[in-house]
Structure 1
Amino acid sequence: MLGPDFEPTRELHFALQMADAADAFTLPKYVNRSFYVDWKANRTEVTEADRECERLISERVLADRPAHGMFGEEHGLVGDADSPWRWIVDPIDGTSNFVRGIPVWATLIALTHIEHGPVVGVVSAPAMGRRWWAARGLGAFADGKKCEVSNVAAIAEAQVSVTFAKGWDDLGLTGKLVQLQQRAYRARGFGDFWQHMLVAEGAVDLAIDAVGLEPYDLAAVMVVVEEAGGTFTDRHGERTYLHSTAISSNGLLHGEIAGLGA
C-alpha cells in the first residue's frame, strides 16, 4: 500500500496542470519553428524548448511539492534528493520529430515512489491534439475516454509496432524482431511514446521499443499501459522502467518476446 500521504486524484490533477503549462510553452515553439537546435554528447538533438520546458515543470514541483524530488532529462535531479517521491520528466519525448516538424512528440510526466515505482503518468502530445493519463487504481484515459488493451491472443492476428535501432543489431536480435513482424497480421513502427499509448488504447497489441532507453522515457507510459490492463517489461520480461529496453503488450501476447532476452 502506498499509504495515506498518496492521494492519486490530487497528484494526477497536479501532473495535468504541469502538462497544460508544458503544452502552452512547447506547441507555439513547434508551430512557429522558433527554436535553435544543439547536439548532446550522444549525438541526439536538444533544443532550448526542451530545457525551458523542463525548467517550467521543475519550478512547479519545487514550489508546490517541496517534499518531493524531480529528475528530468535535461537538468538531472532537483528538489529533495532523499524523498521517496520523485517526479520523472521528459520535457519533449521525440525531440527529433519536434525538430523535423513531425507531430509525434510529447511531454512525459510521472510521479514515482522508491518502493512502488510509477504511480501517476501523463503523456501530453499537443501537436497531435492527444493526451493520455493514469494513476494507480484510477484507470487509464485518452482525452477523457477510458483506455483498455485489446484481447487479441494470437500473433497472427496482432498489430505489432517495432522500433529498430542499432542497439538491437549490437545484441544480435534484429533478425528475431523481423521474424516476429513477419508472423504478425500487421507490423508498423510508430516509435517513442506513441506505440505504447496505442497498446493502452487497444489499437496495437504488442510494442517493442528501441535499445538505450532511460527512466524518463518510460515511467509515465508504464503507468498508462498497466492501468489500461496491459503488461510493461524490459526485453527479459522484468517489470521495470529502469532498464534500457521496454516492451508493452495486452498481456496475452507478452510471451512472444521470450526470444529477445537472449
Structure 2
Amino acid sequence: MQGSANLNIMIKAARKAGRSLVKDFREVENLQVSMKGAGDFVSRADIAAEEIIKTELMEARPNYGWLAEEGGGEDGNDPTRRWIVDPLDGTTNFLHGLPHWAISIALEHKGEVVAGVIFDAAKDEMFMAEKGAGAWMNDMRLRVSGRHKMIESIFATGLPFGGRADLPDTLQDLARLMPACAGVRRWGAAALDMAYVAAGRYEGFWERRLNAWDMAAGLVILREAGALVEPIDPAGDILSDGEVLCANEAIFDNFAKIIRN
C-alpha cells in the first residue's frame, strides 16, 4: 500500500512501540506466574509504549492535537487534526501472557477519522486504512466477509467484567444472537475485533462502553474494507457514546435488528 506521509508516520510509530511491547511481553510471560505479579510491570510497559508513539507522532506533526488512554488529551495549534491513540489494547491479555493485543493509532480531521493503524505486534499483522484508499493488512487488500446467512456467521463482542452496569444488556444480546448464528467470540481486544471484521475473519462485532481510542482506528479500516458501521442507538454517536455495531452489508440489517431488539 502506498500510503500518505501521515500514514507512514503512524506505521513507523506503531512498529517502534511494537518492538518495545514485544520485548516487555517476553518478560511478562515470566512475571505473570510469579508471586509478585505483573500488573505494575504492564502499566509501565503501556506508558512507555505511549511515550514512544507520542514522541514519533508529535515530532513529525507538532501542531496536531492528542488524545490517548494514558496521557489524556491536549489541544493542538491545528484545531482540525488530532491523533487518537491506544498504546496497548488488550492489556488484560498482555498481563496474562496471551499474545492477542494491539497498538491502535488514528488520525481525526474535522471530527472524522481519516486514517487508522492497528498493529498486532505479536503476530506481525499491520491493519491500516486511509479514507478513500482502501484497507490493508500488511500487503494484502482487505474485504469484509462474503457470507450472507446469519447461521453461517461468527460475531465478536466484549463481555462486561467487574460488575459493570451493561452486563445485563450484553447477556440479553447473547441470548438473542447465539441461537441465530455460528458462534460468538470474546478475545479481549476491541481494536482487533474490528480489524478482524474488516479482514473477513468475523462477520460482525458490537460492544458498549468503549472509549474513543479503542475504536477510532477500527472505524476507518472497517469502512474502507466495505463494512457498515453504526452506533447501537441509531440516533447516537459512535465515538462519544462508546457504542458500535458493524458487519458486512449482507447481514447487517438482521444483525442490527437482533442487537437493537
TM-score by length of 2: 0.86
Q: How does 1:152-167 map to 2 (within 5 A)?
A: 152-165=147-160, 166-167=164-165
DSSP-derived class of the 2:4 partner: helix
1:112·1:120 contact (CA, 8 Å) conserved in 2?
A: yes
Deviations 1:189-223 (A, max 9, x none): 234222211211112111123x2210000001111
Selected match of 1:58 from 54, 59, 62? 54
2:97 maps to amino acid: G
The residue aligned with 2:8 is 13
RMSD: 2.3
Are 1:49 and 2:51 an aligned pair? no
1:104·1:127 contact (CA, 8 Å) conserved in 2?
A: yes
Matched positions, count = 247
2:144·2:226 contact (CA, 8 Å) conserved in 1?
A: yes
The residue aligned with 1:244 is 242
Selected match of 2:226 from 226, 229, 247? 229
DSSP-derived class of the 2:249 partner: coil
TM-superposed deviation, 1:97: 0.6
Q: Distance in 2 between matches of 1:187 and 1:227?
A: 24
Q: Distance in 2 between matches of 1:251 and 1:157?
A: 15
TM-superposed deviation, 1:187: 2.8
Are 1:80 and 2:76 an aligned pair? yes
The residue aligned with 1:121 is 116
1:85·1:112 contact (CA, 8 Å) conserved in 2?
A: yes
2:177·2:258 contact (CA, 8 Å) conserved in 1?
A: no
Deviations 1:14-53 (A, max 9, x none): 1101111111211100112288524xxxxxx961111111
1:37 maps to amino acid: G
The residue aligned with 2:17 is 22
The residue aligned with 1:42 is none
1:72 maps to amino acid: A
TM-superposed deviation, 1:180: 0.7
Structure 1 residues 15 and 197, CA gap change in structure 2 (3 angstroms): same
2:177 maps to amino acid: L
More helix by share: 2
TM-superposed deviation, 1:167: 4.2
Q: Distance in 2 between matches of 1:195 and 1:48?
A: 25
The residue aligned with 1:185 is 182
The residue aligned with 2:64 is 68
Q: Distance in 1 between matches of 2:174 and 2:227?
A: 21
TM-superposed deviation, 1:226: 0.7
1:236·1:260 contact (CA, 8 Å) conserved in 2?
A: no
Segments of 5+ residues of structure 1 without an aligned counterpart are 1-6, 39-44
DSSP-derived class of the 1:164 partner: coil
Q: Distance in 2 between matches of 1:24 and 1:188?
A: 28
Identity percentage of aligned residues: 25
Deviations 1:163-184 (A, max 9, x none): 22244334x4522322212210
1:160·1:181 contact (CA, 8 Å) conserved in 2?
A: no
Segments of 5+ residues of structure 2 without an aligned counterpart are 32-37
Q: Distance in 1 between matches of 2:231 and 2:42?
A: 26
Q: How does 1:24-39 map to 2 (within 5 A)?
A: 24-33=19-28, 36-38=38-40
Selected match of 1:194 from 181, 192, 195? 192
Q: Higher mean Cα deviation, 92-101 or 121-130?
A: 121-130
Q: Distance in 2 between matches of 1:252 and 1:61?
A: 38
Structure 1 residues 53 and 131, CA gap change in structure 2 (3 angstroms): same
Q: Distance in 2 between matches of 1:51 and 1:68?
A: 20
The residue aligned with 2:35 is none
After TM superposition, where is structure 1 displaced by more than 6 Å over at least 4 residues in a row? none
